Structure 1
């Protein structure tokens, strides 16, 4: 089988994707600099897969070291690029940190592989902002980003689009994620936020385990069924499987052009209050939560049209909200007894 490089391979989505690549029979090289992950993930992956993951510690912004690495690994035929800074709030405070890291790493990868590679890019539904029509399709207009982080995703897609126009050998699929949550069924890998979680589900689990205070529901007066904001939550394992499907699509030369974009979500929205109720019902844990003011930059509601992913990638999400909540809770309980 082909050998796939996974950048950011010890991160939340990267580690789960590594498992699914192993399950699909691929050889895998993981690359990370541990700026937002733990070295212990490598041990966890070995336990899950029964295979010693090949790993290289490297900062993708170091062009010389990356070029040397690529020269030493001519067998790599595909790259799944997760490595990027991703904290929205931090990006507002330190925009240049985000622009430097997220752009240099992508450009260096394209240059290092000299375009002879299948590349899957980790993008985001943040490129849509508050869509005019729901569910949002891949043809919806890209709106001005609310943060430097979101802007890096938009501009990265532009970089890839422009490069593909003049580089026919380069094949790229950008996957626009909605809200990844949950953890592997083994409870050995999951989301590891540094500091106070910025996302809802890890804050819920940390609150339930006693690590955080009450969960704040930001806004109760949105034009939604229960007044709280609505998002399209997707299980990280489903998300990981979509990356394997994207690699296979390019390998089998099924792409309609050398740059394609796909939404990755469940195709339905869940409100913040619905997620809280699903967590309580699935785990039996009573959550302490309070209603707060709207949070600046939050969109009211967004969920994806995933018809294109179903028809062309042959992929669809299979795990429901209850599985998302139960797996996230099992992971949180594992972390309590096995801190990273």
Structure 2
């Protein structure tokens, strides 16, 4: 059984590839490496001691993707590929709409041509918009507030319509909250291009003195310490959630939507304190103005994934921070230059 992983060299994709290989699946990775490193592919092979096939390819390359499906007997797809920075999407909306939507359309058309109808889709909690009620469940109203979130929301609708058109489709839509952490080996982890957009990689780069301080956006929210509270999930727990979703859709049809989170939140200052404790490093920070559109508290209702997938996030916040620190400390500049993984 071969699973095609789009965006498999990226942060979440690479950790999921490790889980798939260690579970005995054959995998084929397609990634254009626009916001990921080929070094991650070497590390996947090193961790698992397993072989896999990699194609450096953009999903907009319909002929190239068609050739991949012709060469391999693909049973299902895990679709991680896409642009993912909220701030950048506001500046470059046309780029995000074109890349994220068109690439997924091409992928689904090629899948349909080759009779492959099983898909695990990487969505996001951004589709919920600015919810004031927690925990957030899958049946909450959807209202994305930025182009990145809008692409995820549009693609969810496209996949729902696709499944209605052909009852052979089995699709799992996974809405993640805030993935952090790294593989326990310290060999793969989050490797942002430039200044990180997310809190924990920013904190960890302050810890290795790549950045001077953390900006805390507001300390006057109605929370225990005044700072925003979010649901952080270990990337390995997230990868295991993808595995459970894959196992489920291989035996059924239709569309299922699941939140993947821990079901509890931590504030910005709590995250800084935990990271200081596990790293032994001081994390200087400065309180600055709130960001427009930020809400006080956001965390998931994970009961549906717990019940239907038999999945739960097992790793606590200390383990998340320890693993993130091990990755950052071992790789202060991200993936070091080394011999690149052979491409097809």
For Structure 1 versus Structure 2, the TM-score category normalised by the shorter chain is over 0.9
SS, match of residue 68 in structure 1: helix
Q: Residue in 2 aligned with 1:260?
A: 256
Matches of 1:132 and 1:141 in 2, distance apart? 12
- Residue pairs, 1:1-340, within 5 angstroms: 2-73=1-72, 75-114=73-112, 116-143=116-143, 145-253=144-252, 258-336=254-332, 339-340=336-337
TM-score, normalising length: structure 1: 0.96
**Deviation digits for residues 122-153 of structure 1 (CA, Å, limit 9, x no counterpart):** 0001111222421011011102x221111111
For residues 186 and 226 of structure 1, the distance between their equivalents in structure 2, rounded to whole angstroms, comes to 34
| C-alpha deviation, 1:72, in angstroms | 2.3
Range with greater deviation from structure 2 (127-136 or 309-318): 127-136
CA distance in 1, matches of 2:18, 2:12: 10
1:280-323 per-position Cα deviation (integer Å, ceiling 9, x unaligned): 12222111111111012323211000000010001000011001
Alpha-carbon displacement from aligned partner over 1:207-228 (angstroms, at most 9, x marks no partner): 1101001101111111111111
| SS of aligned partner of 1:134 | coil
C-alpha offsets along residues 231-266 of structure 1, whole Å, 9 cap, x if unaligned?
A: 10000000000111011001233xxx6111000000
> Residue 226 of structure 1: SS of its match in structure 2?
coil
2:99 partner SS: helix
Pairs aligned (count): 334
* Distance in 2 between residues matched to 1:318 and 1:230, nearest whole Å: 20
How far the C-alpha of 1:54 sits from its partner, in A, is: 1.2
CA distance in 1, matches of 2:336, 2:49: 22
The alignment partner of 2:332 has SS state of helix
For the residue of structure 1 that corresponds to 2:106, the secondary structure is helix
Query: Distance between the aligned counterparts of 2:47 and 2:39, measured in 1?
Result: 13
Contact 1:42 1:53 in 2 (8 A): no
Unaligned regions of 5+ residues in structure 1, if any? Answer: none
SS at match of 1:113: helix
For 1:336 and 1:98, how far apart are their aligned partners in 2? Answer: 30
Q: CA RMSD in A?
A: 1.2
CA contact (8 A) 2:132 2:295 kept: no
SS at match of 1:152: helix
Q: What CA distance in whole angstroms lies between the structure 2 residues aligned with 1:231 and 1:336?
A: 26
TM-score between both structures, scaled by the size of structure 2: 0.95
Distance in 2 (alpha carbons) for counterparts of 1:269 and 1:17: 24
